[in-house]
Amino acid sequence: MGPLRTHLRSATRLAHERVDAAFGQYDLSRRSDYATFLSHHAAILTPLELSLEAAGVARLLPDWPERSRRHALRQDLEVLGLLPPSIGQGATPQGPAALLGMVYVLEGSRLGAAVLLRRVREATDPDVRAATLYLGHGAAQGLWTSFIDRLEQSPQALADPDAVVAGALAAFAAFEAAAGPAGRQKEGRTG
């Protein structure tokens, strides 16, 4: 594991534990829980991707169009008969290093998605089993590994690792906020 990822992983470990706990409370084999899970993710992923694009993510990551998942998520919501949630303004990355920190969180969430997908595939509801474009996005394309390789070689990230961490924490905070009171209450946290 390279120095930047090692630094990022330890600096964001507690933030990851919180989103893991908050979203881990949803039983993704149940239609209502899965619908809520996907809607919460859409409420954050869509504005975040749009603000990354406005900030020029494609200049730093030319394969960004292959990484974007909001359309896949929207299709999953349609399969479940849901409209996309209304979205707010996504957090604006404060510079290229922070931008890469935000993308670290989005790309890293693919690792958890693979774990969660197994649960979704156990669902008895055929619509739930059919709505897996988001959690299954980019599987076997090595997008996480290729992102980490690019991050460890990025002059912007190497020059300002603290800004990378700040960007990552901002993205994690947005997902934690999106988990909603349900996720936090189930976890025994209020406020």
The C-alpha atoms of residue 87 and residue 70 are separated, in whole angstroms, by 12
User: Is 34 a binder of ligand HEM (CB under 6 A)?
Assistant: no
In the region spanning residues 36 to 95, those forming contacts with ligand HEM, defined by CB under 6 A, are none
Residue closest to 112 by CA, chosen among 177, 64, 41, 61:
41
Q: How far is residue 26 CA from its own chain's centroid?
A: 16
Does 14 interact with ligand HEM (rule: CB under 6 A)? no
CB atoms within 10 A of CB 113: 19
Length of the chain: 191
- Specify the stretch interacting with ligand HEM by CB under 6 A; choose among 77-85, 104-112, 156-164, 181-189: 104-112
In this structure, are residues 163 and 17 in contact, taking their beta carbons and an 8 Å threshold? no
Stretch of 63-71, 76-84, 105-113, 149-157 contacting ligand HEM, by CB under 6 A: 105-113
Q: Restricting to residues 160-189, which ones interact with ligand HEM according to CB under 6 A?
A: 175
Point out which residues bind ligand HEM (CB under 6 A): 5, 8-9, 16, 19-20, 23-24, 104-105, 108-109, 111-112, 115-116, 175
